[in-house]
Structure 1
């Protein structure tokens, strides 16, 4: 059985952020040292993220409302990669499959944090944690 195929299958497709489903944004932003300028950008950012499996890699495209060009990046489970986050922060990240959950480790100049993505049907939950402070974001399949 191909664990990557099984885990990735639930994530493949397009997911829209549900801003009303986000909790703990300000507290988490404090914990990771996010500047006020980057908070303003991220706080009300409407976007759709698309995941596509490509061999051992997962290709990600993020289309953000109000931006002309989508963001694109690719990751391989267990391999650190560098990218620019939605708020413009440069990061190093490592993603791993843990059963059906996607576990993420992120590091930027302002801090380190972990995130866990889980899918239940057409709903995805992203729970991020730094120093005991959590933020939860909800997405719907579109």
Structure 2
């Protein structure tokens, strides 16, 4: 049962990392290269779509990691799993304090109602997101190492 939990956690966190990495290094660059208002509209749509999904994914990943840590507490690699879970806590806190407020504004913008500094706000979101991606990649690495040691 613990092995199934470990594999499920790795898959869920790994896919989340892949999506967030893609947003940071592929999708947003594509959106920024679109003509006229298309990039801003694409970011707003992405903010609505992923903004609805990601809270469940982040909290679910954290919950799976925490359950894994508790279920395997006396086994080798538990410290790695706890470290991975702690990094996921950091990513959730970052999301709530830094990224979600910008996303909540950006997902409502249209070319007619966006603020003058909308590009600066999106650039700030991107910078925070790069850090969050680094944090969740590290969390994934710790969880994968925990599985390898187990």
Q: TM range, normalised to the smaller chain? A: under 0.3
Q: Which has the higher contact order (CA 8 A, sep 6+)?
A: 2
Larger Rg: 2
Higher helix share: 2
What TM-score results when the alignment is normalised by the length of structure 2? Answer: 0.27
What TM-score results when the alignment is normalised by the length of structure 1? Answer: 0.28
Higher strand share: 1
